[in-house]
Structures are given as structure tokens and as C-alpha cells.
Amino acid sequence: MASDANVKRRFRGDGDISRIPSPLQHMETSNVEIGLNAAIVAVMDDEPVALVVRGEADGSGGIDGLPFGPFSPVEHRTLESGLRSWVAEQTGLELGYVEQLYTFGDRGRHAEPGDVSPHIVSIGYLALTEAGHARDLQRGTWRSWYHYFPWEDWRRGRPEVLSAEIEPRLREWALRPAVRTAPSRPVQRSDRVRICFGLDGGGWDEEKVLDRYELLYEAGLIEEARRDGREAALAWGTLPRLGAPMLIDHRRILATAIGRVRAKIKYRPVIFELMADDFTLFELQKTVEAILGPHLHKQNFRRLVESAGLVEPTGEVKTRTGGRPAKLFRFRREVLLERPAPGVRVKPARV
Amino acid sequence: MASDANVKRRFRGDGDISRIPSPLQHMETSNVEIGLNAAIVAVMDDEPVALVVRGEADGSGGIDGLPFGPFSPVEHRTLESGLRSWVAEQTGLELGYVEQLYTFGDRGRHAEPGDVSPHIVSIGYLALTEAGHARDLQRGTWRSWYHYFPWEDWRRGRPEVLSAEIEPRLREWALRPAVRTAPSRPVQRSDRVRICFGLDGGGWDEEKVLDRYELLYEAGLIEEARRDGREAALAWGTLPRLGAPMLIDHRRILATAIGRVRAKIKYRPVIFELMADDFTLFELQKTVEAILGPHLHKQNFRRLVESAGLVEPTGEVKTRTGGRPAKLFRFRREVLLERPAPGVRVKPARV
DNA sequence: TCATATATGCTCACGTAGAGCATATTAATG
DNA sequence: CATTAATATGCTCTACGTGAGCATATATGA
């Protein structure tokens, strides 16, 4: 066991781990790469957008991907700094707010059948950026995230694609027997469909973006599932295209990002990362609605934001709003230094 | 660029990424290992415990570590299954509930000065297990998590160690100038101390376990900081030992786990992963209190749990409780299939 | 049998959130 | 210039969740 000494050396000075059964012959994890992926979110003209980089070399128009690159421990001091440098290099954008989302590593996802190339472990990150600052890109495109997830777009009511395309196919999929994988308490396919998509009286949970995407992937209704060589739910030719596909597992990462933002603005003041320095309360509300979907009750929203001490008036007003001039506000950064630092706790008005 | 063809091949069939600047010469991420680490939590006799494996070969008693092992894409179908197999191999425990916590990869953490061994990227997982099921271990020990984080133990009021040892040293550290690293909006050291430790009238946020640990590490008050070769805040000899140290970055992972559990039981019914099949409401309350700390208002707790439909009576009672027999309840697994599936939303009674 | 400890039911006060009404202040239009 | 429309902003009313405490039920143990 050549690596054993190596391992011990790593822990020298802190004792020893030789009581841990030494199955360390697997210690060489060669053939593993760590990919850093950035889901960069902004809100432009009341539309939630993500920054994508397109591959167009083959003339077919290519496929969208998130900015990404491998982690190099030699050049990158931390995972996050590696991510920042990849994004800067590929798009010219200097990221502000960044948080880690999740690390994906399923074999078989984003791998072609018979592929022997290195296994990729993907670390997904969420970045939030202000629209104004986000316009000067060297490369890359801002695209509405509903371009990739049309079933998440509830701004004009329940999206058509749900009842027209998704529901009937999912219901059929739910009837077919599941391949048993996990042990213990099985969750019925039909239950999963019902919970994720709020069928049969269940409500739509706007945070379950990833769960819905994963379910569609499992059901073979998503283009990435075909690419990964999963058996099709139905003949692929008969399937509609449910949202635009992305490279590797990037759509999965974007789904995670959307779910996280939607959840997080409710308990942390991260919405302000998407705003300019000065803004009106209505602009703030529009931004929240761009992220969450349904409309909010205006007066209550104002009361909530102001009474929570999240903002302070700048003293200026913004005219030409189409009505009475709106007072301008700025984010009170001090709230970050106050206790729990709340978000904009909101429930959609009038479902 | 030898790896370029390699990279293209990986994305064959999905288009091309050649418009992404090809800095792919760094693609060989050799010298990176992925470590899978399990913070396994249970509650035994109203004490929150974690499963640790001790290294004792050098006779000094060794140092505790979490069950862990490297991810091997050849043997492990997924990251999580790799974790499960390492835990089973090292402790004999078959995990139930598992969730991913975070992926750590700072250079310089858990590395000895001048070390050229592979860089480790650590993926931390949280596992919850029932005390009864957790007693039959082949190897490993259950230890109170306050053994590693004495300042988190508020069960008997504010822990002594805070005012006696931690606060004065942190206040001193806050006065010293910070080494500027991050750009833009700097957060004052004193503010960080105040927020994390609830000084100067701020409240104690029991979820900020990781923030507090990281702060203590940065301030050089934690043994792992010395091990990693960071400059000491004070002469190391004069420092008390603040909690027991752990291998590599395991204490950081455990801190993340504690914070996550404390947060999660409030909005997801994960507390029941720690309970036996049948339990009294008082036992449930004791378990919640073991996780969260302060005492809860008994009647309100009962009302909350019952009205949320989280439990249903089994019809049996438990006698010999020292008073009137308590009705036994079981978790209503159906709530997992109902809409948002709430947790036990509780605020500590009477701070 | 009584003291005691726990289990369990019920009430009351209060703050917050959902909902809507009313008014203020501007721009656009004829 | 008067009118209309659109937004901004203040205020009220109500329902409900939650914190807190009182009261009662039913065991065990001295």
C-alpha cells in the first residue's frame, strides 16, 4: 500500500488515523476533475436573466452553457476565487455576491455511453449582480431563465406548457413501475409528481425548481436525459422540447440557483445585490416579483420593507414614473450588521 | 494543448465550446482529491452526539475525526453512495437520512507548511440517525458535540467559557488591524465578533455555529489554526484549549452540520429522523431542545406539533414517566407528501 | 392517603400579516 | 386649462399565529 505512508504524513502532528480501517488503496482518485460553474443572475427590465456562454463553432448555433472551468489548486487559492477568475476570463465580469450551491457528482449524468473521459464533479455557485453593472460584458449573453424553464414562468398565470405537455406525460410516467433503487421507504412516483408540480389540489411551491427539473429528467422528458443515454419515456420524436438544453449538467445547476434565490430572498436581504444603489420601492417590488413570480400586495410590501428597516430614503425622488414621483431609497447596509438580518418575507398576494 | 481534444470529446454531441476562451491547459487537475466526510448526528439521553473515529495508534490518545474517505468514481456510483460505503466500512453503521452540506477547498487549511501532498477538497455531509439504531457500532464513538464546541452549550445558561476565555481575546483581536483580502465593502472585525457572538446587546443566533468557528479560527484561538501554521493571536502557551480539535477540517464540517440541523428542524420535519418509531411529545420536545438549546414552552410546543399534523397518536401510552402516563405518537409520514412539509417552528421560550 | 411530578386542555393578550379604502401628486391628453 | 390616468403613500380593519399562564387529569412513591 504505497499511499499509506503518504496519508500518515498528511496527518502527522495531529495523531494518527491508523485505527480507521485503511482502505486507502483507493486514495488515488485520478480521473476526477472538479468543475466550477457559475449561475450568474440579474434582473433586467423586470426579467430574471442568467449569464450564458454559447458555443457556436460548429455552425449549428451550439448549445448554451454557464461560465465554468476546472478547479486548479495550483492557481486558485480557494474554490471561490477559482470561480471568479474563470468568470472574469470568460465573460469579463467581476463577480460581487457569490455563494456555493451544491456539488454534483452522479456518474452517468453528463457522460456519454462508453465514455472513458474523466469523471467530473461539478460545484455549482450562485452569483447575484446588478443589472447596470452587468451590461458591460466582453462575452456571453443574458438570457431569461424561463428560456430554460418555461414551466417556472407563472407571471401570466399558470404556464400553458404544464397542462399541455408536461402533466399528461408525467401522469403516464407515474403509472409505470419504478425501478427500485433506494431501499426503505419508497416514495411513489405519483406522489413525487403531485408534490413537485402541485397537482391534485396541491399548491405550486416556487422553490422546488430543482426537484421539478430532476423529475422531468428522470421521466426522460428533458433533452439532457436523452443525451445522457437514458431510456426515453416515449419515442423521442414525439416529445416536445421542454425548455432549451444546456451543456453538461448546467441546467441542473441553474435550477438549483433559481430555487436558492427564490428561497433566500425571503430570509436574507440578498435582493439588494440585484438593485442599483438608489431605487424606488416599486422597482424593488418589481425585482422581487421577477424572482418569485406572482404579484405582491403593494402597500403591504412597502410596509414590510420599511418597517423591517431594510431601506432608508435618500431624500431624492424619481420623476417621470408615470405618476406621482417616487421617493428613492437605498439599502441600509447596517442591517447586515444587525442581528439575524432578515429578507423580504413575502407571501404572494391572492393566488 | 494536449488536453484540448479531450475536452472537446467530452462535449461532443452537444456542440462545441470553443468560443469559451480555451484556457484549458489547466485541465489536468491532478493532485486534487475529493474527500467525503460524514457528520452523523443522534440524540442520546437528551445529549446531541456525533459519531467520531479516534486515531490511537501513537499512544497519545490521538485525535478525533469524522468517518471519511476519498471519493472513487470507479467504485462509487454517486458521491452520496461513496459516503455511505465509507461510513459502513469504518463504523458498521448503515446511514438513513443524508444530506450534503458544503464543499470546502481552501488551500492552507488542513495542510502542513511546506506540504506537497495532494490538495483535498472536502465534501461534508450531514446524516441523522435514531439513537436506538445507532448503538450497535462496530467502531467509533458517540461524543457530545459540545465536546468540540463548548461555547455552543447554552443548556445551563450562557456558557462560562464565553466571557471567561473567548470574549476578551476576540475583543483584543478585533482591535488589531485586519489584513485586507476581500475587495469592496469591508466588514469590521469588531462587527463580525459582535454579530457572531451576540455581544453588546445582540442576540445569540444558535444557527451561526460555523461563523463562530471560522471566526475563532481566523483569530487564531483554535488549535487547528496553529496546526495549519497560522500566526497565533497570542502566545499559544497562554491560550486555553477551546474545545477538542479534530482531524483536517472535520471540526469545520461538524460546525456546518450543527448549524444546518438547528436551522432545518425549524422548517422541515427532519427531527423525526432522530426519534424512535413511537415517542411521547415530551420526548420529542427534549430532542428538539437537545438540538436547539434553550427550553421550549411545553403546552405551546404540543399545540404546534399537533396542529401542524406532524404526528398522530398510536393509541398506546407510556407509563412510568413519573406522572400521568403519556400518550405515544408516531410521525405522520404522509406530511412528507403534503405540501410544503413544515418543521417544528419554534422560538425558544423566555430568553 | 397524600404529596408530587408529569400530561394535557383551555384561555387571553398581543403583534403581525393580508386585504382594502382613501388621498396625494404627478404626467398625458384634449 | 381641465380632465383623465397612473402611480405613490397613508391608514384601518380583521384574522390568525404565538407567547404566556391557569387549571385539571392521572400516574408513582413515601
CA distance B203 to B220: 24
Please give the average per-residue pLDDT across B156-169, as a whole number: 92
For residues A3 and B301, which has the higher predicted lDDT (pLDDT)? B301
- pLDDT score for A198: 86
SS3 state at A127: strand
Q: Which helix (H) or strand (E) holds B278?
A: strand B278-280
pLDDT at B334 over 90: no
Nearest to B79 among A105, A194, A338 (CB): A105
Pick the range with the lowest mean pLDDT from A204-213, A287-296, B304-313.
Answer: A287-296
Residues 6+ apart with CB under 8 A from A36: A68, A69, A70, A71, A79, A82, A83, A86, A123, A125
Identify all chain A residues contacting B204, using CB atoms and an 8 Å cutoff: none
- pLDDT score for B13: 32
Q: Which of B26, B83, B121 is nearest to A122 (CA)?
A: B121
pLDDT band at A267 (very low <50, low <70, confident <90, very high): confident
- DSSP secondary structure of A44-81: ETTEEEEEEEE--TTSS---EE-SEEE--TTT-SSHHH
Q: Are B154 and B160 in contact (CB under 8 A)?
A: no
Write out pLDDT tens, residues A88-124: 999 999 999 999 999 999 766 655 545 555 678 999 9
- The mean pLDDT of chain A is 81
Identify all chain A residues contacting B67, using CB atoms and an 8 Å cutoff: 20
Strand ranges, E, within B45-105: 47-54, 64-65, 68-70, 97-104
Write out pLDDT tens, residues A105-114: 976 665 554 5
Cell of A91: 465573460
Give the whole-number percent of chain A exceeding pLDDT 90.
46
Identify all chain B residues contacting A14, using CB atoms and an 8 Å cutoff: 63, 227, 245, 247
- pLDDT score for B182: 54
SS3 state at A342: coil
Query: CB of residue A326 closer than 7 A to nucleic acid strand C?
Result: no
pLDDT at A14 over 50: no
Write out pLDDT tens, residues B175-192: 887 776 555 566 789 989
Distance of CA A171 to the CA centre of its chain: 26
Residue from A7, A58, A72 whose CB has the most chain B CBs within 10 Å, to mutate: A72
Determine the number of helices (DSSP H) and then strands (DSSP E) in chain B. Answer: 11, 10
For residues B61 and A87, which has the higher predicted lDDT (pLDDT)? A87
For residues B265 and A112, which has the higher predicted lDDT (pLDDT)? B265
Identify all chain B residues contacting A196, using CB atoms and an 8 Å cutoff: none
CA distance B313 to B332: 9
CA B307, C1' D16: Å apart? Answer: 13
pLDDT at A263 over 50: yes
Phi and psi for B141 in degrees, rounded to 5? Answer: -135, 145
Pick the range with the lowest mean pLDDT from A76-80, B3-7, B338-342.
Answer: B3-7
In chain A, the largest separation of any two C-alpha atoms, in whole Å, equals 77
Q: Which residue has the cell 411521547?
A: B280
- pLDDT score for B267: 86
Please give the average per-residue pLDDT across B294-310, as a whole number: 89
pLDDT band at A18 (very low <50, low <70, confident <90, very high): very low
Four-point Cα dihedral B236, B240, B243, B246, nearest 10: 20
Please give the average per-residue pLDDT across B83-95, as a whole number: 95
pLDDT at A31 over 80: no
Q: Order across the sheet with B326-331: list the strands.
A: B278-280, B326-331, B311-318
Cell of B238: 497562554
Please give the average per-residue pLDDT across B135-142, as a whole number: 88
Cβ separation of A139 and B19 shorter than 8 Å? Answer: yes
* Helical pair B209-218 and B250-264, crossing angle rounded to 10 deg: 150
Residue from A19, A80, A185, A277 whose CB has the most chain B CBs within 10 Å, to mutate: A19
pLDDT at A321 over 80: no
pLDDT at A17 over 50: no
Stated pTM of the model? 0.87
Pick the range with the lowest mean pLDDT from A93-107, A142-156, A332-346, B287-301.
Answer: A332-346
Phi and psi for A232 in degrees, rounded to 5? Answer: -75, 145
- The mean pLDDT of chain B is 82
pLDDT at A328 over 70: yes
Pick the range with the lowest mean pLDDT from A123-127, A180-184, A239-243, A247-251.
Answer: A180-184
Query: CB of residue A320 closer than 7 A to nucleic acid strand D?
Result: no
Residues A37-54, buried b or exposed e (16+ Cβ, 10 A)?
bbbbbbbbeeebbbbbbb
Q: Which residue of A has its CA nearest to B198?
A: A339
- pLDDT score for B92: 94
To the nearest whole Å, the CA of B321 is away from the closest chain A CA by 31
Please give the average per-residue pLDDT across A259-288, as a whole number: 92
Write out pLDDT tens, residues A160-182: 999 999 999 999 999 887 776 55
Please give the average per-residue pLDDT across A304-330, as a whole number: 85
- pLDDT score for A4: 39
Write out pLDDT tens, residues A216-228: 999 999 999 988 8
Q: How many CB contacts within 8 angstroms connect chain A with chain B? A: 234
- pLDDT score for A55: 67
CA A307, C1' D15: Å apart? Answer: 21
Cβ separation of A34 and B31 shorter than 8 Å? Answer: no
Neighbours of A7 (CB within 10 A): 19
pLDDT at B133 over 90: no
Query: CB of residue A317 closer than 7 A to nucleic acid strand D?
Result: yes
Cβ separation of A121 and B17 shorter than 8 Å? Answer: no
Identify all chain A residues contacting B76, using CB atoms and an 8 Å cutoff: 107
Q: How many residues are present in chain A?
A: 351
pLDDT band at A273 (very low <50, low <70, confident <90, very high): very high
pLDDT band at A295 (very low <50, low <70, confident <90, very high): confident
CA distance A137 to A139: 5
- pLDDT score for B351: 24
Query: CB of residue A325 closer than 7 A to nucleic acid strand D?
Result: yes
Nucleotide nearest to A302 (CA to C1'): D9
Write out pLDDT tens, residues B3-29: 433 333 333 333 333 334 333 333 444
CA distance B206 to B198: 10
Best-predicted range by mean pLDDT among A8-22, A74-88, B327-341? A74-88
Query: CB of residue B339 closer than 7 A to nucleic acid strand C?
Result: no
Nucleotide nearest to A317 (CA to C1'): D8
Nearest to A57 among B19, B79, B123 (CB): B19
pLDDT band at A233 (very low <50, low <70, confident <90, very high): low
CA distance A115 to A117: 6
Q: Are A149 and A50 in contact (CB under 8 A)?
A: no
Phi and psi for B34 in degrees, rounded to 5? Answer: -105, 120
Nucleotide nearest to A319 (CA to C1'): C26
CA B302, C1' C8: Å apart? Answer: 9
Burial class (CB in 10 A: 0-12, 13-18, 19+), A194: buried
Query: CB of residue B307 closer than 7 A to nucleic acid strand C?
Result: no
Query: CB of residue B325 closer than 7 A to nucleic acid strand C?
Result: yes
Q: Which residue lies nearest C20, CA-to-C1' measured?
A: A299
- pLDDT score for A2: 38
- Classify the phi-psi angles of B299: left when phi > 0, otherwise alpha if psi is within -120 to 50, otherwise beta: alpha
Please give the average per-residue pLDDT across B195-215, as a whole number: 89
For residues A119 and B81, which has the higher predicted lDDT (pLDDT)? B81
Cβ separation of A77 and B16 shorter than 8 Å? Answer: no
To the nearest whole Å, the CA of B205 is away from the closest chain A CA by 7
